[in-house]
């Protein structure tokens, strides 16, 4: 039993409490409580009317049971009955029950409000006090609706007692906090402000709380409170410690009121009135001075109260941020506290300095304490103090000390409490980004973060490092190298695998030149981590693999094998399965061009506020709703760039059918179809934009024509060769006058030629070069000749090795024998597999009839004699055509020699004309050939005439040579 029981103790209650305390077990306690509840219920329901005392006692027991943590579902009515009792003690218990166990039952609220109304009107200050307390304790909207209009009247009424004024002020404050819309502003506001001048310090204290809250929302309305607050504060700080009697707390005059006044002043900018401003500055200086005075008491209460005022004053100085002198003094004062033996003061000094660090006047002053703060980080035994030290280091960080601070924070992170690791990680990440001069330092720092505290590295952090690496090409190679090295660790955090996977997928090529980090090694390294990772990371790695297919065609098959394995293609996770299926299909079906487009390097991310900063903002402390909204938006905006760091261009990922169409995977022509030469585009342009290039053909003419071509009479016949044929022919034309060169080239393959001919025999060396770094498999070149060609041309060759390594070249020799003259060209068809896709290339092999030319030198006389001998119309073929190239005589000469005939000088009477002679050697016959080329510079045209002993030869040679000029 308690030693003291003032007022009327309730014996029954005391006994019950003792019983509960004596219960040995929870079960016994519940049993005892249930017994009591049954007893009370029967008493409340009993016929016999209970007297006030009993009601009070039972209600009190219910309250006790409730406070023990049990539910109470009855007794509310009895409590409400107590409210209308005339006995103070019964009323008091009734109100206590109501305030603790308020129920939103509207019937009850109405009854309660009635009782409150009566008590407020009673003019009995104690009853009024009880009623106001009840309103403040419950603070519901219903109560605000009922009393928000009434209470301001009580507050400012001249005859209201001080204690009731205090209660009314705080009651109104409570209602304003819950339902500001229901508290009407009005005449009373100016009178409330004047309560700051009240004689009674209790009234001033309560009124200051109310005014502070109201002023935050309605600064204009309460502007006059500033000068009143300053003068009140001034009177307090200059008073002797005994002046304020009971409001002096351990030799500190009115500390609560001082703190509240200083809080009120923080609702406003520095006072404009110089007198008020001067007086305030004096107050603040006095408070700072007092901190240096010897303490008036050794009691902790004295120093706490004094320092409470000091810290609030410093808050005001920081809030005003206008007096450099005060700011620096505040900083020095806090600097002293940093080394104080009281943990509480060290904590508060660190906290307060954080805000001081953001002022331009004191930032430098704060920075001088860096060593102390770092030391606090290392030596403080209390995690909440260390947390403050981290905050302060973060706040004082700038370019000059970023490296040191980040290093210290990383250091601390190794041993930091789990509860604050995430926040430290965010802060380090932000500082490293913000103050990075050298982005290699940034990359190192983030990788260190992941190494030290990978679990606490949130998505925002690793998204951010990727955004930065992608946006800065100066750091990409370094990043690739560094993640590659970091991934070597036998156990590395999954977040590192994510960052590593993404960065290598984008920039792995930058380090692929080093044999230690060749494509295959990179892939194997990443894939060795694959099975230890969660689904999202695996999904990311699959994207990396498909990116590798583009970056490193030589490991395409390896990757395809992985994608093709059951554990991928049949993965139970639908996302992984879909990726594996789509990526495999993409790699198989898409040409290198399409792959290169789809899997292109990610474009730079748009610069926006760091997502980490948004996260930290969100994490730190309460912020207004709008702020939170913004943060949310920010985050979701970042999601676009960051969430799913899809290394594949958006259109290619996931969404299956539409993307397939976009890529032309399903419907387009097989990408390996005709090796449309790269120039086909410009060719098209040529064909359509230059109708003049159409060949003019003159009807087979006579000698006269030969002597003086009448071009005016020529009739235009347009030739419309199919584009493909034309393209292919063009390639062949290139080789009509030369024997060596590149026959064909695309992104995978290059075909080079070297050939030599002698009489009717020839040998051609074909060089196949693999331009990729991936093997060609089942490499099969085939020579295709039509039946007719086969009878005229005999080609012999040996098969080549079916595997062509990346970068390698293989050679194939073709032995050629010309049996009879021919017009067609054999076709070289090459088939092979490249990275799982089938490639098929066909190209005409430039073996033309003129290759079997043997030049014949002869004099002018001989030439014309023979020319006349071949006067049979079937023996002559003539072609008149427009020049396709500049009409340079030297080039023309070289071409005629390259064509195989002899170039006969001083034969034609017209020195501008060219004549040639030679013999086409075939196994069955030798055919003499004479040719004459007459340029017409003015018309930019040529007339070519061929006379041979065989009509088909004349025809063919004329065709071939016409194309050369």
Partner 1 sequence: MRFMLLFSRQGKLRLQKWYLAMSDKERKKMVRELMQVVLARKPKMCSFLEWRDLKVVYKRYASLYFCCAIEGQDNELITLELIHRYVELLDKYFGSVCELDIIFNFEKAYFILDEFLMGGDVQDTSKKSVLKAIEQADLLQEDGKERNVQ
Rounded Cα distance between 741 and 752, Å, is 6
Does the footprint of partner 1 cover residue 873 (CB under 8 A)? no
330, 356 contact by CB (below 8 A): yes
CB burial of 477-488 (b: ≥16 within 10 Å; e: otherwise) equals: ebbbbbbbebbe
Under rule CB under 8 A, residue 852 binds partner 1: no
Q: CA triplet 747, 750, 752: central angle to 5 degrees?
A: 160
Phi, psi of 764 (to 5 degrees): -120, 130
- Residue numbers 111-130 binding partner 1 by CB under 8 A: 126, 129
Q: Give the shortest CB-519-to-partner 1 separation in angstroms.
A: 50
For partner 1, the binding residues in 411-440 under the rule CB under 8 A are none
Angle at 628 between CA 625 and CA 634, to 5 degrees: 145
Nearer to partner 1, 218 or 790 (CB): 218
Q: Is 655 helix (H, G, I), strand (E, B) or coil?
A: coil
Q: Which is nearer to partner 1, 350 or 816 (CB)?
A: 350
Shortest Cβ distance from residue 460 to partner 1 (Å)? 20
Minimum gap (Å) between residue 403 Cβ and partner 1: 28
CA distance readout (Å), 469 to 499, 638, 873: 10, 16, 76
Nearest CB to partner 1, comparing residues 88 and 838: 88
463 is in an annotated binding site: no
Which one of 33, 79, 98, 136 is in contact with partner 1 (CB under 8 A)?
136
Q: Is there a binding annotation on residue 57?
A: yes
Instruction: Tell me if 529 is assigned to a ligand binding site.
Output: no
920 Cβ contact list (under 8 Å, min separation 6): 821, 849, 850, 852, 853, 854, 926, 927, 929, 948, 953, 957
The verdict on whether residue 58 carries a ligand-binding annotation is yes
Q: Judged by CB under 8 A, does residue 5 bind partner 1?
A: yes
Q: Quick check: 14 binds partner 1 (CB under 8 A)?
A: yes
- 3-state secondary structure at position 220: coil
Check residue 633 for interaction with partner 1 (CB under 8 A).
no
Structure tokens at 891: 């080039």
Closer CB to partner 1, residue 127 or residue 744?
127
Residue 287 touching partner 1 (CB under 8 A): no
Q: Is 909 helix (H, G, I), strand (E, B) or coil?
A: coil
Q: How far apart are CA 883 and CA 942, in angstroms?
A: 7
714 binds partner 1 (CB under 8 A): no
Using CB under 8 A, pick the residue from 58, 222, 247, 735 that binds partner 1. 247
Residue 53 vs 864, nearer CB to partner 1:
53
Residue 156 or 562 with smaller CB distance to partner 1? 156
Considering beta carbons, is residue 69 or 909 the nearer one to partner 1? Answer: 69
- Dist CA 183 CA 178 (whole Å): 10
Give me the least distance between CB of 13 and partner 1, in Å please.
Answer: 8
206 near partner 1, judged by CB under 8 A: yes
254 binds partner 1 (CB under 8 A): yes
492 annotated ligand-binding residue: no
CB-wise, 355 or 831, nearer to partner 1?
355
Q: Rounded to whole angstroms, what are the CA distances from 555 to 15, 520, 649, 768, 835?
A: 85, 6, 21, 21, 8
Site for partner 1 in 82-111 (CB under 8 A): 87-90, 92-93, 96, 100
Rule CB under 8 A: say whether 8 interacts with partner 1: yes
Least distance between partner 1 and beta carbon 89 (Å):
4
Question: Whose Cβ is closer to partner 1: residue 171's or residue 410's?
Answer: 171
394 is a contact residue toward partner 1 (CB under 8 A): no
Return the residues of window 183-202 that contact partner 1 according to CB under 8 A.
201-202
Which residues within the stretch 508-567 sit at the binding site for partner 1 (CB under 8 A)?
none
Taking the least distance from each CB to partner 1, the nearer of 312 and 506 is 312
Give the C-alpha separation, 349 to 372, whole Å: 12
Q: Does 964 bind partner 1 (CB under 8 A)?
A: no
Q: Which of 46, 621, 691, 909 binds partner 1 (CB under 8 A)?
A: 621
Residue 841 and residue 906 in contact, taking contact as beta carbons nearer than 8 Å: no
Tell which positions 294-333 bind partner 1, by CB under 8 A.
Answer: 301, 304-305, 307-308, 311-312
Q: Which of the residues 30 through 59 are near partner 1 (CB under 8 A)?
A: 53
Annotation-wise, does 117 bind a ligand? no
Binding residue (CB under 8 A) for partner 1 from 28, 67, 489, 808: 67
Q: In the numeric block, which tokens belong to residue 392?
A: 């302060």
Q: How far is the CB of 307 from partner 1 (least distance, A)?
A: 5
Which of residues 344 and 597 has its CB atom nearest to partner 1 in the complex? Answer: 344
Q: Which stretch binds partner 1 (CB under 8 A): 60-68, 466-474, 679-687, 943-951?
A: 60-68
Q: Are 942 and 883 in contact (CB under 8 A)?
A: yes
Q: Give the one residue of 98, 257, 291, 357 binding partner 1; rule: CB under 8 A.
A: 257
- State which of residues 286, 332, 384, 797 lies at the interface with partner 1 (CB under 8 A): 384
167 near partner 1 (CB under 8 A): yes
How far apart are alpha carbons 726 and 375 in whole angstroms? 81
Cβ atoms of 511 and 477 closer than 8 Å: yes
Please check if 59 is assigned to a binding site.
Answer: yes
What is the SS3 string spanning 543-569? HHHHHHHHHCHHHHHHHHHHHHCHHHH
How many residues sit close enough to partner 1 to count as binding (CB under 8 A)?
75
Q: Is 218 within 8 Å of 225 (Cβ atoms)? A: no
Specify which residues 252 forms β-bridges with.
Answer: 249
**Which residue among 115, 154, 170, 919 contacts partner 1 (CB under 8 A)?**
170
Select 161 or 695, whichever has its Cβ closest to partner 1. Answer: 161
Rule CB under 8 A: say whether 346 interacts with partner 1. yes
How many other C-beta atoms are found inside a 10 Å radius of the C-beta of residue 454?
16
Handedness of CA 316, 321, 327, 331 (dihedral sign): positive
Q: Of residues 75, 139, 152, 826, which one binds partner 1 by CB under 8 A?
A: 139
Residue 870 has a CB neighbour count (10 Å cut-off) of 17
Tell whether the torsion through CA atoms of 158, 162, 163 and 168 is positive or negative: positive
Could you say which residues in the range 207-226 bind partner 1, by CB under 8 A? 209
Q: Tell me the two tokens of residue 79.
A: 């409590």
Per the CB < 8 A criterion, the answer to whether 579 and 587 are in contact is: no
As annotated, the binding site includes: 11-12, 43, 53, 57-61
């Amino acid at each position: 039993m308690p030693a003291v029981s003032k007022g009327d103790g309730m014996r029954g209650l005391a006994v019950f409490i003792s019983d509960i305390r004596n219960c040995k077990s929870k079960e016994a306690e519940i049993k005892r409580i249930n017994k009591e509840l049954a007893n009370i219920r029967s008493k409340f329901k009993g016929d016999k009317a209970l007297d006030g005392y009993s009601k009070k006692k039972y209600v009190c027991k219910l309250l006790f049971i409730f406070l023990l943590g049990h539910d109470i579902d009855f007794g509310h009515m009895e409590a409400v009955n107590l409210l209308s009792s005339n006995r103070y003690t019964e009323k008091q218990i009734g109100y206590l029950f109501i305030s603790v166990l308020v129920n939103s039952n509207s019937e009850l609220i109405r009854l309660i409000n009635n009782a409150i109304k009566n008590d407020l009107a009673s003019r009995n200050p104690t009853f009024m006090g009880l009623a106001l307390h009840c309103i403040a304790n419950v603070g519901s909207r219903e109560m605000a609706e009922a009393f928000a209009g009434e209470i301001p009247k009580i507050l400012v009424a001249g005859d209201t007692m001080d204690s009731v004024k205090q209660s009314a002020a705080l009651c109104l404050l409570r209602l304003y906090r819950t339902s500001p819309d229901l508290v009407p502003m009005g005449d009373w506001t100016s009178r409330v402000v004047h309560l700051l001048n009240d004689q009674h310090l209790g009234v001033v204290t309560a009124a200051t709380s109310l005014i502070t809250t109201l002023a935050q929302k309605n600064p204009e309305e309460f502007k006059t409170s500033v000068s009143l607050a300053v003068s009140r504060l001034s009177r307090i700080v200059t008073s002797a410690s005994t002046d304020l009697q009971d409001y002096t707390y351990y030799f500190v005059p009115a500390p609560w009121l001082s703190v509240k006044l200083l809080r009120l002043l923080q609702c406003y900018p520095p006072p404009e009135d110089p007198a008020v401003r001067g007086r305030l500055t004096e107050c603040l200086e006095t408070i700072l001075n007092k901190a240096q005075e010897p303490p008036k008491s050794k009691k902790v209460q004295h120093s706490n109260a004094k320092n409470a005022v000091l810290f609030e004053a410093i808050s005001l100085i920081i809030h005003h941020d206008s007096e450099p002198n005060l700011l620096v003094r505040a900083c020095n004062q806090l600097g002293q506290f940093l080394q104080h033996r009281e943990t509480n003061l060290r904590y508060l000094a660190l906290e307060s300095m954080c805000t001081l660090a953001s002022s331009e006047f004191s930032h430098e002053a704060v920075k001088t304490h860096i060593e102390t703060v770092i030391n606090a980080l290392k030596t403080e035994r209390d995690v909440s103090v260390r947390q403050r030290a981290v905050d302060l280091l973060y706040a004082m960080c700038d370019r000059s000390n970023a490296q040191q601070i980040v290093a210290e924070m990383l250091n601390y992170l190794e041993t930091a409490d789990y509860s604050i690791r995430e926040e430290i990680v965010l802060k380090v990440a932000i500082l490293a980004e913000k103050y990075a001069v050298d982005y290699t330092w940034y990359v190192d720092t983030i990788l260190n973060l992941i190494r030290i505290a990978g679990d606490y590295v949130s998505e925002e952090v690793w998204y951010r490092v990727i955004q930065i690496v992608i946006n800065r090409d100066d750091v990409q190679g370094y990043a690739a190298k560094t993640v590659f090295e970091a991934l070597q660790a036998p156990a590395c955090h999954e977040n590192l695998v994510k960052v590593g996977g993404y960065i290598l997928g984008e920039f792995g090529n930058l380090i692929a030149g080093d044999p230690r980090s060749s494509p295959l090694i990179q892939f194997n390294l990443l894939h060795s981590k694959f099975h230890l990772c969660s689904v999202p990371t695996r999904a990311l790695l699959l994207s990396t693999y498909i990116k590798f297919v583009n970056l490193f065609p030589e490991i395409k098959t390896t990757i395809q094998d992985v994608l093709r394995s059951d554990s991928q293609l049949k993965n139970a996770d639908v996302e992984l399965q879909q990726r594996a299926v789509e990526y495999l299909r993409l790699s198989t079906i898409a040409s290198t061009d399409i792959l290169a487009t789809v899997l292109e390097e990610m474009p730079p991310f748009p610069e926006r506020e760091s997502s980490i900063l948004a996260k930290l903002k969100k994490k730190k402390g309460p912020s207004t709703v709008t702020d939170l909204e913004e943060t949310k938006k920010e985050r979701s905006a970042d999601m676009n760039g960051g969430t799913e760091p899809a290394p594949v261009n958006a259109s290619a990922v996931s969404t299956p059918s539409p993307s397939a169409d976009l890529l032309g995977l399903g419907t387009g022509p097989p990408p390996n179809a005709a090796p449309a030469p790269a120039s086909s585009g410009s060719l098209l342009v040529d064909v359509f934009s230059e109708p003049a290039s159409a060949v003019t053909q003159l009807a087979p003419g006579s000698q006269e024509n030969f002597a003086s071509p009448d071009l005016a009479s020529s009739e235009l016949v347009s030739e419309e060769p199919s584009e493909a044929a034309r393209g292919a022919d063009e390639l062949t034309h290139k080789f009509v006058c030369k024997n060596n060169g590149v026959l064909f080239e695309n992104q995978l393959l290059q075909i080079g030629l070297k050939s030599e001919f002698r009489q009717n025999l020839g040998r051609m060396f074909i060089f196949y070069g693999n331009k990729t770094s991936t093997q060609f498999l089942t490499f099969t070149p085939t020579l295709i000749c039509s039946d007719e060609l086969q009878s005229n041309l005999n080609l012999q060759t040996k098969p080549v090795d079916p595997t062509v390594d990346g970068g390698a070249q293989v050679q194939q020799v073709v032995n050629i024998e010309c049996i009879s003259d021919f017009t067609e060209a054999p076709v070289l068809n090459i088939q092979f597999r490249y990275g799982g896709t089938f490639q098929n290339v066909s190209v005409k092999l430039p073996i033309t009839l003129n290759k079997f030319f043997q030049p014949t030198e002869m004099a002018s006389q001989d030439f014309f004699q023979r020319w006349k001998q071949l006067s049979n119309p079937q023996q002559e073929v003539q072609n008149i055509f427009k020049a396709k190239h500049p009409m340079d005589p030297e080039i023309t000469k070289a071409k005629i020699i390259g064509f195989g005939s002899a170039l006969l000088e001083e034969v034609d009477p017209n020195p501008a004309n060219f004549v040639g002679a030679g013999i086409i050697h075939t196994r069955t016959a030798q055919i003499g050939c004479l040719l004459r080329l007459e340029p017409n510079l003015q018309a930019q045209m040529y007339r070519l005439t061929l006379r041979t002993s065989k009509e088909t030869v004349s025809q063919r040679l004329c065709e071939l040579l016409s194309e050369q000029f």
